[in-house]
Amino acid sequence: MSLRHLVATALLCLASIAGAEELFMARSAQSFPETMLALQEAITRQGYVLSRVQHVDVGLTEMGFATDKYRVVFFGKPEEIRALSARYPQLIPYLPLQVTIFAEGEETLVVGADPLMLQRLVPDPAMAPVFRRWRDDLAVVMESLRALR
């Protein structure tokens, strides 16, 4: 199985959970390091804090894939995450927010789930503006990556 097939399988799993229309994706012609830097800058410009970058490639290497360009980037607003986790424990597995970034040939892709899908877990109308803000902010991040030259 190629890396492309593995990534496609992972995206299909996300799509089956979230629905394909509930995925955000940006493709950049920039290299992985340049896109990673631009992603981190775009996230912080939207007022979020990067909480960690998880290297997923170790597991892929153990499975026989040759890649060092596959990461999950976690981000959020610490006080907001703490408050929401305490009030809505069902959100804990989904916080902080996250996107996946990986190299595909000469391009770099960034994929994330639409935060509006979290309304299924928390139907509280008071949370709708928070989920919409997260969605709007993620859309801005993705658009900035698409615009990279």
* pLDDT of amino acid 56: 74
Task: Please give the model's pTM, rounded to 2 decimal places.
Answer: 0.81
The residue ranges of every structural domain in the chain are 3-146
* pLDDT of amino acid 67: 62
Q: Which of 107, 137, 89, 112 is nearest to 34 (CA)?
A: 107
Specify the higher pLDDT residue, 58 or 134. 134
pLDDT digits 0-9 by tens, 5-44: 444 445 444 444 445 468 999 999 999 999 999 999 999 9
CB of 62 within 8 A of CB of 82? no
Yes or no: is domain 3-146 CATH 3.30.310.70?
yes
What is the rounded average pLDDT for all residues in the chain? 85
Backbone angles phi, psi at 100, to 5 degrees: -110, 135
Does 81 score more than 70 pLDDT? yes
What's the token pair of residue 107? Answer: 């391009």
* pLDDT of amino acid 16: 46
